[in-house]
Chain A
Amino acid sequence: MILALECSSTISRGRLARTAGALLALLLASTALAGAASASETGQPAWEPRVVERLVKLPGTHLKRAIDNDFAGSQLGGALVDTEGQIGGKLKSMAELQKAVERAEGEVRTELRHQFLAEKKDYIKLVGARLDLKRRQLKTSQRLYDALLKRMDQTGAGATPEQISVAAKQEEARRRFEKSLAEVDTRLFAADAARETKYGREHAKNMAAVEQLVQAIRQHPMSAGPELDGQPVSKQDYVRSLQAQTDADLALVDQEELILGHMAKLVALDAMALSEEIDAPESVADPDNRPGDVTRAVGLFITR
């Protein structure tokens, strides 16, 4: 019976050792191929925003919101949210397993450590997938902002130096006209030399109404222009600041991938350590009572 129990214990340790070895091999393989696997996958969730006229004409603050809403409604946005949800769940289960490992002993502890390693591997895989999705989102955003800037240059949605100069001259002309309007009207119409036509009067009335409405639109809080650090900026400068932000986010993604690489290495080392622990017992258990020790049989030979 004792022999049977020893045999079954040996078999279960052997199975565990083989499983730990397989886990280690799988972990190393998956870490090495992670980049290639994600690059060769097809049918991944997509986000394909297009630069349409309406997007170019949107005020600066609404532009960012429109782009974010479009991403949130896309397949890529949905996949990113799902992955982040799975990561949250995985973190919770890993925390619980860690506490259980600290409380457990013997075979149960070994089994729990094995499960903990498997959970860590899944976590790394999930975070890798999330970083891949995030990178794709940021690259798409970069292309979108480039296309937006190109379109703005074509349609003149942003203010070029020539446009600023013309706008200043127009404003100056308008101010001069408004300043001299009353006097000009008196001189023009008082002597009956010229009469304002009916069309002129109606046109002036309509234009006054249009100007009032335009003024109300300009002063509306929802049509406030984009700002950077409290300073109003042109739409082109605002889009360039979004580009810079996207570049910074991409650099952070690179950093997170580096951290993930280190985590994967640590998990691989833990798996190696666990594998060695499981393999080691037969060779080091009770060095003074090994069955293969020939000195144990000396007594049998020296007595007759």
Chain B
Amino acid sequence: MNNKTFAILALALALVPGFDAAAGSLENLERERAILVETMLAPDMPAQQRAEKIAQSRTRLVDLERMVLRDGSLAGKATPVVRSAFENYDLTFLVHAATEKNLAMADHWLEQIGLTTNALMSARVGRR
């Protein structure tokens, strides 16, 4: 895509009525958490870099989680995203739940999705 096409596309998007790039607090939290999980699972990242990125994510996530918990506009909103977010506190509010249980964020997240040490150790290859 050349520069001219890109500029036309950007202008067209800006002029389309109702086009709104602003996201709610929950969407911001989901995005930041997705970045954290991607960082945790990145296979080629050096350990030092991974630790730094996770620390930065944690700082942002603390604020975002508190914003979501105090966001009055989400009260009673029965959309699938909101319903799913509040159905599982431990997965949504990762930093607070992990700190509550005194676990590292990665450990807490893996535990929540069922990837515990015992489960991995007792896994074996076989036919169903």
Contacts and interface: CB of A to CB of B under 8 A. Distances in A.
B81 to A, nearest CB: 11
B44 interface: no
A301 interface: no
Contacts of A204: 66, 70
Nearest to B70: A207
Interface stretch (A138-146, A164-172, A264-272, A275-283): A164-172
A211 B83 CA distance: 22
Contact of B78 (A166, A193, A203): A166
Interface stretch (B15-23, B94-102, B112-120): B94-102
Contacts, number: 77
A121 B24 CA distance: 69
Question: Could you say which of A164, A194, A211 has the most chain B C-beta atoms within 10 Å of its C-beta?
Answer: A194
Interface residues of A, number: 34
A58 interface: no
Nearest to A193: B55
Interface string B65-79: 011011010111110
Interface residues of B, number: 26
A129 to B, nearest CB: 47
Contacts of A167: 75-76
Interface string A167-188: 1011011101100100110011
A151 to B, nearest CB: 17
27 contacts: A162-B78, A163-B77, A165-B78, A167-B75, A170-B75, A170-B86, A172-B86, A172-B89, A173-B69, A173-B86, A173-B89, A177-B66, A183-B99, A184-B96, A184-B99, A188-B62, A188-B95, A193-B58, A194-B58, A194-B62, A196-B62, A197-B63, A200-B62, A203-B67, A204-B66, A211-B70, A214-B72
Interface of A: 156, 159-160, 162-167, 169-170, 172-174, 176-177, 180, 183-184, 187-188, 193-197, 199-200, 203-204, 207, 210-211, 214
